[in-house]
């Protein structure tokens, strides 16, 4: 692990806003079609020593610059395809984590046309900037169609990594005929009816069908043939067992559907945005009449909000760590009567990282909402969520540019609070 010099708190808190010269109405972000690969022919990496860094000997400096700056998404797919090729020739060449990452990158580069169309549609319908929607999904899955995974009892699935309750909420908004076509019953999304771990017995059967494939490549095919008798003994004994079985069956067979996954992710973020993001943040960073994101992309920019809108990024943070993140912001900026100061994405990351005072002898930071009610959060969650938001931005930033970075100095550890973070007052210094 790298060692870091401890920096005085005042320097840490005031270093980041110096980057506020960024024009947030025109940040250095990619067009949607540039974030995803376009299917270019790969350079021959079969003879290079390191497939992650090297180019063939005959590659010119100009070609290397072009690949790194203008074809970065395709280059990433090419490099990871080479890793998978080498592993196939010689098993054990790479770690399981490296191979999983490589598979996700390569799979994420498939069906790009379908993905872009669904992103454009969701952005138009829900008002979410396409860059934030793509960045959020890349952070979840690198745009790959991951199978159902336990995820701490959450049993998330697909490109958007939604659990059955999140899936249920979006399914219940579909017209009745669409729900019927997908085999979705009339059912409540309440925790008592559809707890996220209700997927567990289905998963345990399907995982046996994977064979030599790794578990993250679980597909709808692996769930075929599961009957009510196979799983309902694991459900609590109620009159809605049949509906529960139908709901979970529909979920595991459709959660890797690309248009549904993208649309449902946008809906989930939209719900958080509408219900929990402070109004002043919603109303800020919007293009005025006649103006829009000035970069010329394949499709016209489809949202009124700036590409890295702070309110929408807060919704992403809430998806990752809960709506209480808005309360953390209130505390950090000492908000009264919902009068938030002007906050940009860097200010959001700063508040998520520094907000809340360390409770001595614990793993938590404590803070208060505007009513004075005491709240707390594990420092690990604060560390992860600020890093999550920074990475969402990094996923859509132009390759040669830098907009945001994670502020953790010693990584995000499950237990303990690092010394540099312990001295924070948890409040923005005036």
Q: Say if residue 230 is exposed, middle or buried (CB neighbours under 10 Å; 0-12, 13-18, 19+).
A: middle
Cα Rg, the chain, nearest whole Å: 23
429 and 294 co-located in one domain: yes
383 and 288 co-located in one domain: yes
Residue 266 within any structural domain of the chain: no
Structural domain range at position 307:
9-29+111-140+283-430
16 and 61 co-located in one domain: no
Going residue by residue through the chain, which has 430 residues, state the pLDDT in tens, using 9 for 90 and above.
222 233 333 333 333 434 448 999 999 999 999 999 999 999 999 999 999 999 999 999 999 999 999 999 999 999 999 999 999 999 999 999 999 999 999 999 999 999 999 999 999 999 999 999 999 999 999 999 999 999 888 999 999 999 999 999 999 999 999 999 999 999 999 999 999 999 999 999 999 999 889 999 999 999 999 999 899 787 776 778 899 999 999 999 999 999 999 999 999 999 999 999 999 999 999 999 999 999 999 999 999 999 999 999 999 999 999 999 999 999 999 999 888 899 999 999 999 999 999 999 999 999 999 989 999 999 999 999 999 999 999 999 999 999 999 999 999 999 999 999 999 999 998 6
344 and 312 co-located in one domain: yes
N-term to C-term CA, the chain: 34
121 and 225 co-located in one domain: no
Instruction: Return the percent helix, strand and coil in the chain, to nearest 5.
Output: 50, 5, 45
Final residue of a structural domain among 255, 270, 296:
255
Nearest to 293 by CA among 284, 304, 282: 304
Residue 359 within any structural domain of the chain: yes
45 and 132 co-located in one domain: no
Residue 241 within any structural domain of the chain: yes
Reading across the β-sheet that carries 374-378, which strands appear in turn? Answer: 357-358, 364-368, 374-378
Give ∠ CA 210-214-215 in degrees, rounded to 5: 70
394 and 295 co-located in one domain: yes
Residue 213 within any structural domain of the chain: yes
Residue 267 within any structural domain of the chain: no
229 and 355 co-located in one domain: no
Residue 234 within any structural domain of the chain: yes
Give the total number of structural domains in the chain.
3
Residue 55 within any structural domain of the chain: yes
Q: How many whole angstroms separate alpha carbon 126 and alpha carbon 269?
A: 9
CB atoms within 10 A of CB 50: 8
163 and 102 co-located in one domain: no
Residue 175 within any structural domain of the chain: yes
412 and 292 co-located in one domain: yes
69 and 151 co-located in one domain: no
244 and 297 co-located in one domain: no
Look at residue 237 in the predicted model and tell me its pLDDT.
Answer: 66
């Amino acid at each position: 692990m790298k060692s870091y010099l401890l920096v005085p708190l005042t320097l840490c808190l005031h270093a980041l806003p110096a980057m506020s010269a960024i024009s947030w109405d025109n940040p250095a972000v990619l067009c949607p079609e540039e974030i995803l690969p376009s299917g270019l022919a790969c350079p021959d990496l079969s003879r290079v020593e390191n497939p992650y860094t090297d180019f063939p000997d005959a590659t010119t400096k100009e070609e290397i610059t072009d690949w790194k700056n203008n074809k970065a998404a395709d280059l990433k797919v090419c490099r990871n395809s080479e890793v998978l090729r080498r592993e196939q020739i010689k098993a054990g060449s790479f770690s399981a984590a490296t191979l999983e990452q490589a598979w996700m990158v390569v799979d994420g580069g498939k069906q790009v046309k379908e993905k872009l169309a669904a992103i454009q549609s969701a952005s138009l319908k829900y008002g979410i900037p396409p860059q934030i929607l793509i960045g959020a999904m890349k952070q979840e899955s690198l745009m790959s169609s991951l199978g159902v995974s336990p995820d701490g009892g959450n049993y998330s699935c697909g490109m958007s990594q939604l659990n059955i309750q999140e899936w249920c909420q979006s399914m219940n908004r579909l017209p009745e005929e669409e729900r019927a076509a997908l085999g979705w019953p009339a059912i409540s999304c309440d925790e008592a009816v559809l707890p996220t771990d209700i997927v567990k017995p289905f998963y345990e059967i399907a995982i046996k069908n994977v064979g030599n494939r790794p578990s993250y490549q679980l597909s709808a095919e692996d769930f075929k043939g599961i009957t009510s008798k196979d799983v309902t003994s694991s459900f609590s004994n109620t009159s809605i067992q049949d509906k529960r079985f139908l709901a979970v069956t529909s979920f595991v067979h459709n959660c890797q559907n690309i248009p549904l996954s993208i649309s449902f992710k946008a809906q989930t973020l939209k719900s958080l945005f509408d219900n929990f993001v402070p109004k002043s943040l919603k109303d800020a960073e919007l293009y005025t009449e006649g103006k829009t994101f000035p970069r010329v992309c394949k499709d016209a920019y489809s949202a009124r909000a700036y590409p890295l809108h702070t309110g929408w990024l807060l919704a992403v943070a809430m998806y990752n760590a809960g709506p209480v993140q808005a309360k953390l912001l209130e505390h950090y900026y000492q908000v009264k009567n919902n009068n938030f100061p002007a906050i940009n994405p860097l200010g959001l990351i700063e508040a998520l990282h520094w907000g809340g005072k360390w409770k001595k002898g614990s793993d938590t930071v404590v803070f208060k909402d505007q009513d004075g009610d005491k709240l707390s959060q594990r420092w690990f969650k604060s560390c992860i969520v600020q890093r999550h938001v920074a990475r969402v931005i990094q996923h859509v930033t132009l390759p040669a540019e830098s907009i945001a970075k994670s502020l953790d100095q010693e990584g995000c550890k499950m237990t303990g609070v690092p010394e540099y973070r312990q001295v924070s007052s948890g409040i923005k210094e005036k």
